Amino acid sequence: MVQAEATRQISFIQAINEAIAQEMRRDPKVIVMGEDAAGAAGRKGKEDAWGGAMRLTKGLYPEFGAARVRDTPISEAGFIGAGVGAAATGLRPVVELMYVGFFGVCADQIVNNAAKMHYMFGGKVDVPLTIMTAMGAGTGSAAQHSETLYSVFTHFPGLKCVVPSDPYTAKGLMTAAIRDNDPVIIFNNRQLMGFTPSGHVPEEAYTVPIGKARIAREGADITLIGIGYTTHLCLQAAAELESRGFSAEVVDLLSLSPMDDETVLASVRKTRRAVIVDEDYPRCSIASDLSALIAEEAFDYLDAPPRRVTPPHTSVPYSNPLEALYVPTVERVVEAANEVLE
């Protein structure tokens, strides 16, 4: 009798941390930088300290030392710029931008340097830079620490943008990002940070391909498209719709740039209906981009216009009751799906 392999469950944070550690062991050119990335480790009594604001780098300093795990000043322009320079000169930096809302003070380094160097130097310079950043509302962190903003970065050629939805995809996409020769931004939703689902996360290193979506649930009547945390809203909504007699397919987008247009279009052409669930602001968003894609490339297949479920076009409120009204919910996804299915 063959014994089934035990399911290995780890949290989202542990998955990111494990991916970084394994790549640092595999490749001595991988380094880590960020605010509290080492957590003041090296000082007396601080041999294994904070590990960054999100604990993503905890435990790396004792193994890899100060040469490869570096605390930085509170100067996003400085340490993102240092990461770009290190990448262009042969290293593979992993740099933590604490919150995506802080990108305004390092936008030049990301969009004018990291994104354009390979192109401007005729392909002679690679920029294997990984930027990991926290995003997402629903944690009571107010307007400057709760934005999503991934759509901003997809506007710029030369940047790859990925959004993991669970520990398995977090580890696989983080590994793929570090190994990629282009700059990759990995957007980690804070509501998923402590998430430990039932899925298996292999202990060995593996990659989840950048540029590919996945079908998280197969269905026939409607396509629900999720991004990161909203994939879980889509899965819960699909279960609710099933109880009402409808079969919903769930697409977990995973990669925003490059985007897997074909998986999205194949699903919509099959189900003939689509609801897109996006945490970002609604104007010039991924939801808007997908709606345009579906309307232009699958119009003749549609039985109803695509619907978007997004926050309102306003800053994230600090008040808990207002924030609960701000974020997309399962109820709103089901309501939108029912309208499309009528």
- The pLDDT value given to residue 95: 98
Task: Tell me: cis bond preceding 157? Omega within 30 of 0 counts.
Answer: no
Write the CA distances from 238 to 9, 199, 212, 286, 309, integer angstroms.
24, 18, 22, 21, 15
**Which of 187, 185, 263 is CA-nearest to residue 225?**
263
Q: What is the pLDDT along the chain (342 residues), one digit of tens a residue?
A: 444 456 789 999 999 999 999 999 999 999 999 998 988 666 666 666 678 888 999 999 989 998 999 999 999 999 999 999 999 999 999 999 999 999 999 999 999 999 999 999 999 999 999 999 999 998 889 999 889 999 999 999 999 999 999 999 999 999 999 999 999 999 999 999 877 677 899 999 999 999 999 999 999 999 999 999 999 999 999 999 999 999 999 999 999 999 999 999 999 999 999 999 999 999 999 999 999 999 999 999 999 999 999 999 999 999 999 999 999 999 999 999 999 998
Q: What is the pTM of this model?
A: 0.94
3-state secondary structure of 160: strand
What the chain holds in terms of domains, given with CATH numbers, is: 12-192 (3.40.50.970), 214-341 (3.40.50.920)
Q: What are the residue numbers of the active site? A: 145
Predicted local confidence at residue 49, as pLDDT: 65
Identify the pLDDT of residue 229. 96
Question: Quick one: pLDDT at residue 4?
Answer: 45
Residue 308 host element (H or E) = strand 307-309
Q: Are 190 and 139 in contact (CB under 8 A)?
A: yes
Contact (CB, 8 A) for 59 and 24? no
CA distance 219 to 234: 12
Give the Cα separation of 256 and 26 in Å (integer): 27
